[in-house]
Homo-oligomer: A and B are copies of this chain.
Amino acid sequence: MSPGAALERKLTNVACHQLTPMVGDLEGNLTLIGEAVAEACSDGTDVLVLPELSTSGYVFRSRAEARSVAMTTDHPFFAETSAALGGTSLVVVVGFCEDGGEVLYNSAALIDADGVSAVYRKTHLWDRETQVFEPGNDLPPVVDTVHGRIGLLICYDMEFPEMPRLLALAGADLIAVPTNWPSGEHPVAERAAEVIAAQAAARTNGVFIACCDRAGIERGQSWNEATVIVSQYGWVVADVPDASGARPVARASLSLHLAEDKSISPHNGLLADRRPDLYRKGTLTA
């Protein structure tokens, strides 16, 4: 599709597969990802979102350990994944540990049958990631796919409302968020805090958001396992099944074209009502 073109009014099947990667086990993780992609190819999924650092695991003991499983987009994994998508319109978003030469990045790639369309390097690093990765310095991309305009963020990025806002301003219909949410406490009746942030971001920007968390205790670290797909109104429309044994996949059929309509009253538009004049004044004086 061309940038800015109106989306077709159809349902897009979005799936988030809450994988359980193993830290340092590149080969095993690539197999896991390959199985998830193959499954999505055959079950009618249009957009598959996989966790942050799916290829490498997360809780590295050192930068050297991370480097040992780092890869560039020249790694055969990317060409093989793209080849596996041949004849489908499936789009895959997957987090990987990127070899950036001197430095490493916590990155996400968007892959379709034509290859890798975009790589985003996480710009807001969480906790000990700062000891392993270099933060990216480029804006997150919005990729024109056959299903709609897909923006990319990674985990902690989402905690900065500026980021989903930027993607909405750049025309994103769906924001795909590979994530590893370390488990945090929350009141019993409330959702995980990161989910609340995603709900607010979806609603205030009128965009769909698909957050794919991970599972599996890794070196003592557990995760929220709170994968969610959020509508453009900010409501959680899918999460992963509770039943043990059930596949940890959140699925929703979304009318992504609805994200093009930012009108919320006869006199209001979510983006048109912004006051950049004020916001600039405020951040200049802060």
* Binary contact track A223-255/B, C-beta < 8 Å → 1, others 0: 000000000011110000000000000000000
Give the CA-CA distance A235 to B124 in the complex, in Å: 23
| A186 contacts partner chain B, Cβ-Cβ < 8 Å | yes
Give the CA-CA distance A61 to B120 in the complex, in Å: 51
Given known A-B contacts A166-B283, A197-B200, A286-B170, A186 and B268 have beta carbons under 8 A apart = no
Q: Is the CB of A123 within 8 A of B275?
A: yes
Q: How many residues on the A side are at the interface (Cβ–Cβ under 8 A)? A: 53
Minimum distance in angstroms from A244 CB to a CB of chain B: 22
Instruction: Write out the residue numbers on chain B whose beta carbons fall within 8 Å of the beta carbon of A166.
Output: 278-279, 282-283, 286
Q: Is the CB of B268 within 8 A of A276?
A: no
| A190 contacts partner chain B, Cβ-Cβ < 8 Å | yes
Q: Which 6 residue pairs are nearest across A and B when measured between Cβ atoms?
A: A161-B161, A200-B200, A169-B286, A166-B282, A127-B265, A162-B279
Besides A123-B275, A139-B285, A170-B285, 7 other A-B contacts (C-beta < 8 A): A156-B273, A162-B282, A170-B286, A187-B235, A196-B203, A200-B201, A279-B283
